[in-house]
Structure 1
Amino acid sequence: MAKKLMKGNEALGEAAVQAGCRYFFGYPITPQNEIPAYLARRLPEVGGVFLQAESEVAAINMVYGAAGAGARVLTSSSSPGISLKTEGISYIAGAQLPCVIVNIVRGGPGLGGIQPAQSDYFQATKGGGHGDYRLVVLAPSTVQELVDLTMEAFDIADAYRTPVMILGDGIIGQMMEPVEFNPPKGRDLPEKTWATTGAKGRKPNVVNSLHMAPEELEKHNLRLQAKYREIAEKETKCEMYQTEDAEIILVAYGTTARICKTVVQQLRKEGIKVGLIRPITLWPYPEKAFNEVIDTAKAFLTVEMSTGQMVEDVRLAVNGRKPVHFYGRTGGMIPTPQEIAEKVRELAGGVK
């Protein structure tokens, strides 16, 4: 298939359509507006439904309804909008419904600004809403990967009956790169016998997250946790970039990881042994990747467009075995290769 030059947000929309998504419910917010704008035109062409809801709260509850009927459904927003959706996301996770949620992150807190950020990491990976639940969180670093992971997200959601989040940022949503649309490797997806498709010839299906008896709610939560353990075992993804002999290991995801790759290439020419661990799944977090490099690594440097959020998971993965440092820019500011390289040089000088 020939490649096509597309903006990230629009490529995501097309990937969803080609993955079989036929319903979108959302509300406008920069910098993800090209997703609903694209799908407003595209979904009717394939017999789907685009609906701009009256609010983010309404949109996520419409997702609940469509997912409960067994449809492949998508919603997208940016940081403050995701905050409004969190109650509905918790309901969806509790009801074990598959759907895909996109967050093209902007600066915060509050209204913040429309520039790119990674300061929603805690919100995405630590629950965000109430209760003991998890989201599978996928973090693309290129527009092609955005396409591939969007398609895979729908399969993961259906395989485990769970909501999946695509966590991007304003850069990856707005940049243009050549992409091609290839279906993900086939999975044996279970039939949606639980869906509320009309009780014709069978007993009615009931979809809810309400368990009045504490014994029943505990059993439900334990079933969810068992599912999350299975997801962690089977779906964890990361990229190891020039880590075989690396003494300084950069850890970054999404757009920041692209910048860090440039730093690795630059500093390798200077004789500094630098590598990169790039988590692709932010949850489940690729903790085992750190075990592969812990013997040769002398220090880790986490780089984020935040004041420091993923660095906590890096510290947990390293577990005190080696020093973990942090460098970040926030509020929509983007760390430059020069800034990161200088920090690595400082660390390299200190660990010789």
Structure 2
Amino acid sequence: MAEKILMKGNEAIGEAAIVAGCRHYFGYPITPQTELTEYMARRMPQLEGVFLQAESEIAAINMVYGAAGAGARVMTSSSSPGISLKQEGISYIAGAELPCVIVNIMRGGPGLGSIQPAQGDYFQATKGGGHGDYRLLVLAPNSVQELVDLTILSFDLADTYRTPVMLLGDGALGQMMEPVKFAAEKTGYIAKPWAATGLRGRQTPNIINSLHLQPEKLEEHNIHLQKKFAQIAGREVRYEELYTEDAEIILVAYGITSRIARSAMEKARAEGIKAGMFRPVTLWPFPAAPLARLAAKAQTFLTVELSAGQMVEDVRLAVNGAKPVHFYGRTGGMMPSPKSIYNEIVKIVNGKGGK
């Protein structure tokens, strides 16, 4: 697919996964990501792949565990409450060091909430929603093209580090349509000599497991995992900066919110306010060091989220008290307008904004 084509975000994720070599998908329908499940139901049989609508989200994530353990490139997707149901399985997969891609198209919460866009799953994604000491590599696209590009990247990162990777989108990105371009289908995948595929010339079979009954062994495994997470944190930080060179106030936003915040920032600059923007692309590892460097020259920060305030905690940790960090958020599926964010910028610049 060399030319750009118009695609809905959810369907673009599915095609991107196919380009990345995914031939196994296990899921369960939930709005606003159901189009992704429908797309994979149609495309997998055409490619002699495996599509299975599981009886539940819990079943789906454990099917992912099995396929990943056998060395397949495998994906599942859901939306907020469905991801909550998958958390035990995600912890198992992280503990067993299995590569897979998990897509969360976030909706309003808590509870069943609504089917509207939200970003209230940031804590769940970045702090480990399941039990134990583990991390997910979390990527946050802000366009349909980035949904494509970061889906493909997610499969590569998962295989490179033998870890689950989460693509964290939202209902707006999943439902919107934009022109996208797909690269040629990938070839030359990373070898997986650890996969449980029978003996195949080996003296002993590979065993996939996350259970370590001896405390010494479990601690040894945890130390190994933490070293891997530190390696990821040192290598895989991704972010975007706009007009931060002379910015006195820097907006921090991710995903769909970053596009709205960018419009507000551009309006502010047109009105003579030195505003800039910082967009984390990896939510974990969070780009704390680049933000800390910006705190040395900017006067203040404004974090904008579709939540009651979650990423703002990581922004404040990164800034470490060097400069004020303000917050503006909408919840319940409500989206801020560029004007409302611009008004917050003006309040802060005039000394009337809250923290």
The residue that corresponds to 1:281 in the other structure is 282
The residue that corresponds to 2:312 in the other structure is 311
The residue that corresponds to 1:290 in the other structure is 291
User: How far, CA to CA, are the matches of 1:267 and 1:305 in structure 2?
Assistant: 21
User: How far, CA to CA, are the matches of 2:93 and 2:312 in structure 1?
Assistant: 28
Cα offset, 1:200, TM superposition: 2.4
How big is each residue's C-alpha offset from its partner over 1:291-311, in whole Å with a ceiling of 9 and x where there is no partner? Answer: 332222111110000000000
Cα offset, 1:349, TM superposition: 1.3
Q: TM-score, normalised by structure 1?
A: 0.97
The residue that corresponds to 2:134 in the other structure is 133
Cα offset, 1:184, TM superposition: 9.7
The residue that corresponds to 2:258 in the other structure is 257
The residue that corresponds to 1:154 in the other structure is 155
1:332 aligned partner, one-letter code:
G
1:207 aligned partner, one-letter code:
I
Considering only aligned residues, what root-mean-square deviation do their CA atoms show, in Å?
Answer: 1.3
The residue that corresponds to 1:236 in the other structure is 237
Query: Is 1:217 equivalent to 2:218 in the alignment?
Result: yes
User: Residue 326 of structure 1 aligns to a residue in which SS?
Assistant: strand
Query: Retained in 1: the 8 A contact 2:240–2:278?
Result: yes
1:146 aligned partner, one-letter code:
L
How big is each residue's C-alpha offset from its partner over 1:63-111, in whole Å with a ceiling of 9 and x where there is no partner? Answer: 0000000000000000000000000000000000000000000000010
User: How far, CA to CA, are the matches of 1:8 and 1:276 in structure 2?
Assistant: 24
The residue that corresponds to 1:201 in the other structure is 201
Cα offset, 1:192, TM superposition: 0.4
Cα offset, 1:247, TM superposition: 0.4
User: How far, CA to CA, are the matches of 1:73 and 1:308 in structure 2?
Assistant: 32
User: How far, CA to CA, are the matches of 2:7 and 2:84 in structure 1?
Assistant: 28
2:248 aligned partner, one-letter code:
E
Query: Retained in 2: the 8 A contact 1:152–1:184?
Result: no
Query: Retained in 2: the 8 A contact 1:159–1:189?
Result: no
1:292 aligned partner, one-letter code:
R
User: Residue 205 of structure 1 aligns to a residue in which SS?
Assistant: coil
How big is each residue's C-alpha offset from its partner over 1:292-344, in whole Å with a ceiling of 9 and x where there is no partner? Answer: 32222111110000000000000000000000110000000011111110110
The residue that corresponds to 1:100 in the other structure is 101
How big is each residue's C-alpha offset from its partner over 1:192-222, in whole Å with a ceiling of 9 and x where there is no partner? Answer: 0110111121110000100011111001001
User: How far, CA to CA, are the matches of 2:93 and 2:85 in structure 1?
Assistant: 14
1:151 aligned partner, one-letter code:
I
Identical residues among aligned pairs (%): 67
Query: Retained in 1: the 8 A contact 2:16–2:151?
Result: yes
User: How far, CA to CA, are the matches of 2:184 and 2:100 in structure 1?
Assistant: 18
Query: Retained in 2: the 8 A contact 1:151–1:184?
Result: no
Query: Is 1:123 equivalent to 2:128 in the alignment?
Result: no
User: How far, CA to CA, are the matches of 2:63 and 2:182 in structure 1?
Assistant: 28
User: Residue 177 of structure 1 aligns to a residue in which SS?
Assistant: strand
The residue that corresponds to 1:28 in the other structure is 29
The residue that corresponds to 2:111 in the other structure is 110
User: How far, CA to CA, are the matches of 1:334 and 1:51 in structure 2?
Assistant: 34
The residue that corresponds to 1:18 in the other structure is 19
The residue that corresponds to 2:300 in the other structure is 299
Query: Retained in 2: the 8 A contact 1:3–1:178?
Result: yes
Cα offset, 1:190, TM superposition: 4.3
Q: Mark the runs of 5 or more structure 2 residues left unpaired by the alignment.
A: none
User: Residue 114 of structure 1 aligns to a residue in which SS?
Assistant: coil
Query: Retained in 2: the 8 A contact 1:100–1:165?
Result: yes
Query: Retained in 2: the 8 A contact 1:151–1:183?
Result: no
The residue that corresponds to 1:337 in the other structure is 338
User: Residue 168 of structure 1 aligns to a residue in which SS?
Assistant: strand
Q: TM-score, normalised by structure 2?
A: 0.97
Cα offset, 1:117, TM superposition: 0.1
User: How far, CA to CA, are the matches of 2:186 and 2:51 in structure 1?
Assistant: 28
1:96 aligned partner, one-letter code:
E
The residue that corresponds to 1:89 in the other structure is 90
Change (3 A) 1:5 1:75: same
User: How far, CA to CA, are the matches of 2:35 and 2:101 in structure 1?
Assistant: 17
Cα offset, 1:161, TM superposition: 0.1
Query: Is 1:245 equivalent to 2:246 in the alignment?
Result: yes
Cα offset, 1:189, TM superposition: 6.1
The residue that corresponds to 1:163 in the other structure is 164
Cα offset, 1:289, TM superposition: 1.4
2:270 aligned partner, one-letter code:
K
User: How far, CA to CA, are the matches of 1:148 and 1:189 in structure 2?
Assistant: 17
